[in-house]
A and B are shown apart, each in its own frame.
Chain A
Amino acid sequence: MRKVIMGNHSLSYGALLSRVQVISAYPITPQTQVVELLSEMCASGELKAKFINVESEHSAMAALIGASAAGARTFSATSAHGLTLMHELLHWAAGARLPIVLGNINRAMAPGWTIWADQTDSLSQRDTGWIQFYCSSNQEVLDTIIQAFKISEKVLLPSMIVLDAFFLSHTYEPVDIPDQVVVDEYLPPYKPKYVLDTKDPHTFGGITSPEYYYEIRYKMEMGMRESVEVIKQAGKEYGELFGREYGLIEDYRCEDAEIIFITSGTAASTAKVVVDELREEGKKVGNLKIRVFRPFPFKELRRIIEHAKKVAVIDRNISFGHHGIFAQEVKSALYNHSNIPVFGFVAGLGGRDINPQTIKEIYHITESNEYPSEKVFWIGVKK
């Protein structure tokens, strides 16, 4: 069935089709439509799930941790301050190896108060042990939710599905809503192996001494590493059933490209348009979208950009005192593998538009300099 829906509702439909059993959420702009629609679905009986209206995002995640540990498939959505309030429990969910799936609408952090997009909220959660997907279309959001449950339940790590505030969350696009029967075939009911069970009682998450904590974290990292292949496999199987295949990255006209943009989220869609325009002008340029930020797609990224002459990383975020975060990650992926110059660009913080002109400016700076003259270029600052 094809429907024109907003990005936020793609999250809701993804959760519905995944047959989530417990939802717990707290409202925050620009996430509200996600949970409004889900609460309607629960109220009407379309979705057989418990919806817990908690008093904070911290409690939303705590409730999901309890529910997931007790064996339910769980979902929530949040944004910015809500996500950062959850921060402690993001560590907890991952450390407890619970396959919770969370939608996060990328919104910039206050002060000053803002509701518009940037990625600082989710990228600040980089080290919590969550798998992170950055989506560029409403279709991708819906498809990724369903894949995320499959992936998380296999590797026992939670997943965060990230989309830009307003540029995607409130944008209406035609979306193919898959048939429930086929989704059920792809994503069978959640059967946890480790669960709170009064017939087989165990304690979860107790004090762990240096004797064993280290191994538990090692196993978490092994789970994250295993997820690379699991994500690829889940994306491939999804393609076989639904005709839309997904990977860790998405490369666009990169084969013979001399300059490659590295982008994420909605900026990736804009960059593709700019690539086409520049190609018309005879410029050899391509775009590499990073879909999965954790686990970081080291190999896939190197394979695509190894023949390029330069890369231009566009970051809708900043690690103060350093670069944009994607630029840092790309540099670390290339170190010891390639000497290709990496140009780091910060753009679009707090909802400033990243339009074709912004990306063309980035292209020209990259093209006209042999090496980056600045550690990080801030595009469009009023000077």
Chain B
Amino acid sequence: MQKDKKKMRESELIIIEKESDMPPMAMSLGYMTYNKTGSWRNIKPIINYDICIDCMICWKFCPDACVLIENGRPLIDYDFCKGCGICAEECPKDCIEMVEEGK
């Protein structure tokens, strides 16, 4: 594999120092997972697991693919959650609360 065509990298900031390390065209070398969009958020979803029935509707409707499935239960990845609130709005059990960041 050539220097400019490496395996795609996850969760890594890529800094290319020299033009010789670049591919000849704009070509992806890594995934946007380096970009922690959780910093965009000003309200934060909190799941009340006592009420949650693991229906995974929050997982299903997340536009940021940041509701993970952990042992059959939904787990919000706050590194990426932008705080859109769709999960709380769509939850059939009303068990997700949107709370202000820092409170």
Consider the complex of A and B and state whether they touch directly, i.e. have CB atoms less than 8 Å apart. Answer: yes
- Tally the A-B contacts, defined by beta carbons under 8 Å: 46
The answer to whether A203 touches B24 (Cβ under 8 A) is no
- With beta carbons under 8 angstroms apart, the residue of B16, B24, B29 that contacts A156 is B24
Q: Is A127 an interface residue (CB 8 A)?
A: no
Q: Is A206 an interface residue (CB 8 A)?
A: yes
The answer to whether A97 touches B24 (Cβ under 8 A) is yes
Q: Is B26 an interface residue (CB 8 A)?
A: yes
Nearest to A98 among chain B residues (CB) is: B25
Q: Is A335 an interface residue (CB 8 A)?
A: no
The answer to whether B26 touches A212 (Cβ under 8 A) is yes
- With beta carbons under 8 angstroms apart, the residue of A194, A213, A220 that contacts B5 is A194
Instruction: Give A213 Cβ to nearest chain B Cβ, in Å.
Output: 8
Residues on B with beta carbons closer than 8 Å to the beta carbon of A206: 26, 28
Q: Is B27 an interface residue (CB 8 A)?
A: yes
- With beta carbons under 8 angstroms apart, the residue of B2, B22, B26 that contacts A204 is B26
Q: Is B70 an interface residue (CB 8 A)?
A: no
Nearest to A156 among chain B residues (CB) is: B24
The answer to whether B22 touches A194 (Cβ under 8 A) is no
Q: Is B19 an interface residue (CB 8 A)?
A: yes
Q: Is B51 an interface residue (CB 8 A)?
A: no
The answer to whether A194 touches B26 (Cβ under 8 A) is no
Instruction: Give A192 Cβ to nearest chain B Cβ, in Å.
Output: 12
Residues on B with beta carbons closer than 8 Å to the beta carbon of A204: 25-28
Residues on A with beta carbons closer than 8 Å to the beta carbon of B24: 97, 156, 194, 216, 219-220, 223
The answer to whether B22 touches A212 (Cβ under 8 A) is yes
Within 8 A of B (CB), among A91-113: 95-97
Residue total for A at the interface (Cβ-Cβ under 8 A): 21
Residues on A with beta carbons closer than 8 Å to the beta carbon of B16: 212, 215
The answer to whether B22 touches A203 (Cβ under 8 A) is no
Compute how far the CA of A90 lies from the CA of B4 in the bound complex, rounded to whole angstroms: 25
Residues on A with beta carbons closer than 8 Å to the beta carbon of B25: 95-97, 156, 194, 204-205, 216
> Which of A's residues lie within 8 Å of B, judged by CB?
95-97, 156, 193-194, 201-206, 208, 212-213, 215-216, 218-220, 223
24 contacts between A and B (CB under 8 A): A95-B25, A96-B25, A194-B5, A194-B24, A194-B25, A194-B27, A201-B8, A202-B28, A203-B28, A204-B25, A204-B27, A205-B25, A206-B26, A206-B28, A208-B26, A212-B16, A212-B22, A213-B26, A216-B24, A216-B26, A219-B19, A219-B24, A220-B24, A223-B24
> Which of B's residues lie within 8 Å of A, judged by CB?
2, 5, 8, 16, 19, 22-29
